[in-house]
Structure 1
Amino acid sequence: MGYCQIRNPKPELYVKLLLRFKRAGLFATAVSWLSLPMASGQVIDEDHGPTDRPIHIRVHADQVHRDVIPNTIFGSFLEPIGRSTYGGLWAELLENPSFEEGLWSAGAIVKMVQERPELERASQLDLPLPWEPLDARQGNRYEPERGDAANSSQSLLVMGLPQAEVGIRQRIYLPVHRTLAYRGSLFIKHQSGAAQVYISIRRRNDPQQVLADATIEANKEVWTKYSFELTIKLGQVDALQPADFVVAVRDDSRAFIDQLSLMPADNVDGMDAEVLKLAKDLHTPLVRYGGNFTSSYHWKNGIGPADQRSSQSNLAWNIPEYNTFGTEEFLRFCELIGAQPQVALNLGSGMPQEAGDWVKYVNARWGNKQGGLLWELGNELWGSWNMGYPTRDQIGTRTEAFSAAIRKVDPTARLIATGADEDFYHDWNAVQLGTPPATFQYLSTHFVVTDDQVQMSNPSNDFVALSAFALPIGLERRMKEMTEQIQQSNHKDAQIAFTEWLFVAADHPAPGFRNMGGAIDTAGFLNMLMRNADIVPISDMTGILEFGGIWKKREQVYGAPGYWVLRSYAEEKPSRLVPTDSDAPQYTVDHGVTRLPHIEHVPWLEVVAAEGQTPDELILFCVNRNLTRDYRATIQVDGFTPRPLAEIKTIAAPSIYTENDEMEPEAVKAVADQISVGSSFEHVFPRAGVVVIRLVRRNR
């Protein structure tokens, strides 16, 4: 302890640090530090006491703050990116079910074929990706039919062979750990020959091993929808093992097929049952429907009968947008998990009238149909990656126009204007804050940070980690600076909405959404929000699916480490902040994460206290940022006599780089237990860990 890769400090720091090391009994360590090679960057430990001394924490439960902590700081957000919606929340097992072209960018196709070389031969046979021939040796027996489709713009003609079976297949994964039954549908237009079309699930790359099958009598020469059911037997397919979904004709039969679907029978209104459970258990009160896709999303493409919605490219992420998950489905998702919708509107390629129509459509279908929902006026409009982004000179006028269109249909709507990130907000936000006061109530900000990008050259892993852990403390100060600008403007009563935040590890071992280090980042961020809920009452963690939230890989559903932190905090429903005093040691980072390189007074052990759902509950939210040291703390609670047993949740792991994945879905999770407590009690907080303690008042 005492330093973490301290390099090239200012000359006057040599003496100061030597004195600190000497007082801490670490003079030998300080001497060895002097011989280190020179670079730039430092983490200074401000702890002057012996390493075995306990930390003293005093909780003033008799001085509860008046301001309420809104539960909306525990929001999350959903965006069609990666496999968050399609392949994640949406239970559909098939990709490109309507045989379209142009759904992926060239780069995405290159990556797809590199990962699955067999798709190159499929493409040579004119099969839309990622469909494959049942038997590639049969050659060209497929023809995409453009302009004649049951859905979108293209269907597929499958042409049989005498005394043979010709078909298409797609690799799928099945959630066999929870269900063996699957339901599906497809559109068929008969061309010639026998009328039968054969549907099956087969062993991957072994067409003779049919695990479940159904036969459809399809003799109509107009597009007709058919349904089927397939049930496999227990043990035929293992969890995480691929299978083939097959559609085939036999002998001289020829048929056009289009718009297929295959879902687990336990889907809930088209959504994955396991994902829904984890999402509901998250207790998130708010789900933002937004992101970069917002600036090119036209909501009317995602309404009406699902099998009549056209597939297209998601231009923001160069992946398919099937539009089968649209407004109705999003609202149903929110309803199922007990969250309020927060929708980002298209201020890129969209128009005010389109936005107003969407507000009217949602209001007619949500809750008491009285409106008053949160609407976000665009997403990251300062970024050139957003379609139709306005310039800084244009943003105020565009914000006003969309605000007026929404107020016309719903005067009670709560509006969030697009603000800029913490490192360049001033000039952009000044334009937004120059609009009339009634234009919006909140100004958004984002912090999606690659936290292994530090100013220090050749940083150690520990330096990167401690720099990342300090970020919420640095952000807290930026939030107050942004609030000062707001209060000096026409929008004195406006507040900040933190509508995206995420910690990403890119090239260097670092805390990120995949690992335990990301859980520590998340806890620090939520602690920061609770302390500042009066100026930042809305927050949406990235995201409820993928990133810091719920993942699904090969049909195994699990939560990222950060998911467990957000869940552990949100389910406590903290209502009002309780002041605390602590003598916990601190550290300072210099030349740290590029976006916030200098951060002072970062507590190694941070404790935020809050009243729970009732005045008889007291919750302690604790994060230990130290990578090597467990902290023993004595906790004194004033004005609150707890019952002798308290509930505790601990989130820790052998390493900050421990990850959850489909093979080890709960390597990091919240572990519940009970501990003995009193008005004064002691607890040991594990290194690089997160702890939530719930005290319940003893009956008077």
Structure 2
Amino acid sequence: MRKAIQLGLGLACAIAAQAQVTVDKPIPQVVQVEVNAAQKVGQPIPRTIFGSFLEPIGNSTYNGLWAELLQNPSFEAGLWTPAKIEEMLRERPELRRAGDLAIPLPWEPLNAGQGNRYEIRAGDAANSWQSLMVIGVPGEPTGIKQMVYLPVHRTRDFQGSFYARHLGGASRITVSLRLHDQNEILASQDLDVSNTGDWKKYTFALQIPEDKLHRLDPADFVVQLDDDERVELDQFSLMPADALDGLDPDEVAMAKALHSPLVRFGGNFTSSYHWTDGIGPRDKRRNMLNNSWGIPEYNTFGTDEFLAFCRAIGAQPQIALNLGSGTPEEAASWVRYVDEHWTTHSGLLWELGNELWGNWNLGWPTKGQLAQRTLDFSKAIRGVDPTARLIATGGDPEVFHDWNAIQLTIPPGTFDYLSTHFVVGTSNVKLKNASPDFVQQAALAMPIELERKLQEDQQQIDSTPGYAGKVHIAFTEWLFIGDRRSAPNFTNTSGALITGGFLNMLMRNSGTVPISDMTGIMEFAGIWKKRSQVFGTPAYYVLKMYANADAAQPVTVKADSGAYSVKQGVDRLPEIAAVPYLDVVALLSEDGRKLTLFCVNRSLQTDITAKLHLDGFAAARKANVQVLSSDLLTDANDEIDPDKVTPIDSMETIPAGEWSRVFPHASVTVIGIERK
């Protein structure tokens, strides 16, 4: 009996959970989509709503966009926080032996059985603070190694360098690439390091034979001493020969294909980043801790490299300044430097800090300090570049009012935009015992409520004397995170659907939000690299579908597809009403020769049949159609299957009169139609 009661209660809870999504109007058997291309809506959308975001976090730059294959090349201590070291040792427990022998992680001894043959030296390094002395054992191989993943699917040629100072004994060093944890040498080069006294730089080249190492297989980079040699080593580098001045060519190619017009360089690390650490000769840039994320900041990817990346992909730089440990003078000097190194510098975007309301940012200002700090930095920047467009730190969409009210006490003209961020955990719903479907529907609804919040944000700005029509919103970070496998996440198909809904919302509101940066161009919802295999998330492909469309001028579109409402949903936006199942935005190209429809089907189960009526546009007989969907909303791409979820392109015939087509459930569809 007790079991029957428990089952009954469980069923009742499940029904109650599902009841928190109410159907306002069911999906019609046939949805009528009416587009009037002759009736324009608002102003042309700026391409800057398709921007992206780059921050040194995880493996976004180092071990990612930056093609360097070695970690901790300068043998430094303190490059990882204790928590990150614990994580590294959990994944690779064999590294504990290196720590016992005073070898900086993640380097290892070539022969652990030899015991203590290594000494950290400080104070006279070739780079930063530390170097490593290695003492050879006569008649035995002695040295160090590091596990690496090589992009052999793309190239088998590798180039490298290191600094050495001969201390005694033999003078030959052999650098090689070997099969991981095996003695089989794939490629090697001998170098004579007989110099004494001063540090000297040595270069080498290694070529791996065909069929000796396969995609995703690890290798070891090995440095071996000859006989009784004693040598001091520092500042190693190992690069694929096809690196683009240090950049990974696969990641650059995927970023260029995205056609993102803006790349924001910023994030939490901004509050403790000093730009002068990342300029000058790369071999001499200091290795240090990334204060925000507990990982190394090698500074080899600095301002010049970021600008080179922007040039390579055809994007404009958008840089967040250090309003934490930095000064107005430091910010102004960075603006001057970028202006001198970016030929079309007029009107570049500069962000006055990042999430200054968060105590995780170094040197966060109190509310009493906020306005003056914003004003001081603005004056310093405008003093060196009056054309600079400034983004002041604003509050998140659902809690903006009090914070933004402080910024709006500053004299008008101090800044051009107020930022907002929305980095949200989709699993954090208010409903107890929520089903996976409820979590999905609540997450997919969020762009609809964000649209309303952003309009309220703009109303506050416009109601402030001197600000109406002069300051708008810059959505400089947005990301959807699920902490359980069944939840929408930035890496899975469900996250791609939210991305489509979010971009539709931005296109409807580009007059309010003319700037937006999806998190991020590397990692998160963008481009990943694992074991040297580069791949994009489903959300990356949705942003690519939108940013590559020849679409500028919104026109009237109506789609009576039915709607649902959410209660007790995601904690940041728990109550959302009137969420359309089929969300459609229509735009003309600048020359009016092309009409593009952006369509998101939020229904988890229903393939929506629609009849499309195109008024004011004589369509050609063929349409280009891109559809992104998958068998499961949790499907994701990875290094093993990098193309599991990608758009399917096709050409469809447009019949005379009405055009009927089916939009798959849980899908994003972009339809491009040429004028006859």
TM bin, normalised by shorter chain, reads over 0.9
| Whole-angstrom distance in 1 between the partners of 2:13 and 2:261 | 53
Gaps of 5+ in 1: 1-31
| Whole-angstrom distance in 1 between the partners of 2:14 and 2:167 | 79
Q: Quick one: which of 365, 375, 394 aligns to 1:390?
A: 365
Q: Quick one: which of 109, 123, 126 aligns to 1:147?
A: 123
Aligned twin of 1:659: 636
| Whole-angstrom distance in 2 between the partners of 1:581 and 1:345 | 42
Q: Quick one: which of 463, 482, 490 aligns to 1:513?
A: 490
Change in 2 beyond 3 A, CA 1:675/1:391: same
Change in 2 beyond 3 A, CA 1:689/1:475: same
Change in 2 beyond 3 A, CA 1:359/1:49: closer
Aligned twin of 1:156: 132
The answer to whether the aligner puts 1:185 opposite 2:161 as a matched pair is yes
Aligned twin of 2:389: 414
Aligned twin of 1:529: 506
The answer to whether the aligner puts 1:686 opposite 2:664 as a matched pair is yes
Aligned twin of 1:10: none
Change in 2 beyond 3 A, CA 1:37/1:540: closer
Aligned twin of 1:625: 602
Change in 2 beyond 3 A, CA 1:138/1:41: farther
| Whole-angstrom distance in 2 between the partners of 1:105 and 1:624 | 44
Instruction: Give the TM-score of the pair, scaled to structure 1.
Output: 0.93
Give secondary structure in 2 for the equivalent of 1:334.
helix
| Whole-angstrom distance in 1 between the partners of 2:528 and 2:485 | 23
Q: Quick one: which of 201, 204, 212 aligns to 1:228?
A: 204
Aligned twin of 2:332: 356
Structure 2 counterparts to residues 74-473 of structure 1, below 5 A: 74-206=50-182, 208-221=183-196, 222-368=198-344, 370-473=345-448
Amino acid at match of 2:349: L
Amino acid at match of 2:604: L
Structure 2 counterparts to residues 486-501 of structure 1, below 5 A: 486-489=461-464, 490-492=466-468, 493-501=470-478
- Deviation per CA, 1:602-656: give whole Å up to 9, x if none: 0111111011243101000001111111001000000101111111111010010
| Whole-angstrom distance in 1 between the partners of 2:574 and 2:549 | 33
Instruction: Give 1:66 shift.
Output: 4.7
Give secondary structure in 1 for the equivalent of 2:461.
helix
Instruction: Give 1:34 shift.
Output: 7.8
RMSD of aligned residue pairs (Cα, Å): 1.4
Change in 2 beyond 3 A, CA 1:333/1:460: same
| Whole-angstrom distance in 2 between the partners of 1:176 and 1:442 | 45
The answer to whether the aligner puts 1:481 opposite 2:459 as a matched pair is no
Q: Is the 8 A contact 1:651 1:671 kept in 2?
A: yes
Instruction: Give 1:491 shift.
Output: 2.0
Give secondary structure in 1 for the equivalent of 2:381.
helix
Instruction: Give the TM-score of the pair, scaled to structure 2.
Output: 0.97
Give secondary structure in 1 for the equivalent of 2:626.
strand
| Whole-angstrom distance in 1 between the partners of 2:649 and 2:133 | 56
Aligned twin of 1:584: 561
Instruction: Give 1:46 shift.
Output: 2.1
Q: Quick one: which of 584, 593, 608 aligns to 2:570?
A: 593
Give secondary structure in 2 for the equivalent of 1:63.
strand
Give secondary structure in 2 for the equivalent of 1:307.
helix
Amino acid at match of 2:602: R
Change in 2 beyond 3 A, CA 1:39/1:232: closer
Instruction: Give 1:393 shift.
Output: 1.5
Q: Is the 8 A contact 1:451 1:468 kept in 2?
A: yes
Q: Is the 8 A contact 1:40 1:457 kept in 2?
A: no
Q: Is the 8 A contact 1:71 1:574 kept in 2?
A: no
Give secondary structure in 2 for the equivalent of 1:644.
strand
- Deviation per CA, 1:464-498: give whole Å up to 9, x if none: 00000000001000000000100011422200000
Q: Is the 8 A contact 2:287 2:298 kept in 1?
A: yes
Amino acid at match of 2:23: D
- Deviation per CA, 1:125-159: give whole Å up to 9, x if none: 00000000001001111111111210000000111
Change in 2 beyond 3 A, CA 1:89/1:218: same
| Whole-angstrom distance in 2 between the partners of 1:336 and 1:373 | 17
The number of residue pairs the alignment matches comes to 663
Aligned twin of 1:697: 675
Aligned twin of 1:552: 529
Change in 2 beyond 3 A, CA 1:66/1:426: closer
Give secondary structure in 2 for the equivalent of 1:420.
coil
Amino acid at match of 2:296: P
Instruction: Give 1:234 shift.
Output: 1.0
Instruction: Give 1:47 shift.
Output: 2.7
| Whole-angstrom distance in 2 between the partners of 1:564 and 1:72 | 17
Q: Is the 8 A contact 1:41 1:455 kept in 2?
A: no
| Whole-angstrom distance in 2 between the partners of 1:573 and 1:228 | 47
| Whole-angstrom distance in 1 between the partners of 2:15 and 2:663 | 34
- Deviation per CA, 1:315-344: give whole Å up to 9, x if none: 000000000000000000000000000000
Amino acid at match of 1:593: V
Amino acid at match of 1:337: I
| Whole-angstrom distance in 1 between the partners of 2:347 and 2:328 | 18
| Whole-angstrom distance in 2 between the partners of 1:36 and 1:565 | 33
- Deviation per CA, 1:647-690: give whole Å up to 9, x if none: 11110100100011111111111111101114531110011011
Amino acid at match of 1:233: P
| Whole-angstrom distance in 1 between the partners of 2:107 and 2:48 | 43
Change in 2 beyond 3 A, CA 1:577/1:35: same
Change in 2 beyond 3 A, CA 1:281/1:564: same
Q: Quick one: which of 654, 674, 681 aligns to 2:651?
A: 674
- Deviation per CA, 1:147-206: give whole Å up to 9, x if none: 121000000011101112211000000101110000001011111112211100011111
Amino acid at match of 1:155: S
**Deviation larger for 61-70 or 119-128:** 61-70
Give secondary structure in 2 for the equivalent of 1:364.
helix
Give secondary structure in 2 for the equivalent of 1:499.
strand
| Whole-angstrom distance in 1 between the partners of 2:492 and 2:274 | 35
| Whole-angstrom distance in 1 between the partners of 2:549 and 2:343 | 25
Gaps of 5+ in 2: 1-9
| Whole-angstrom distance in 2 between the partners of 1:574 and 1:287 | 20
Q: Quick one: which of 21, 24, 27 aligns to 1:43?
A: 21
Give secondary structure in 2 for the equivalent of 1:46.
strand
| Whole-angstrom distance in 2 between the partners of 1:521 and 1:612 | 25
Identical columns (%): 52
Give secondary structure in 2 for the equivalent of 1:348.
coil
Amino acid at match of 2:557: T
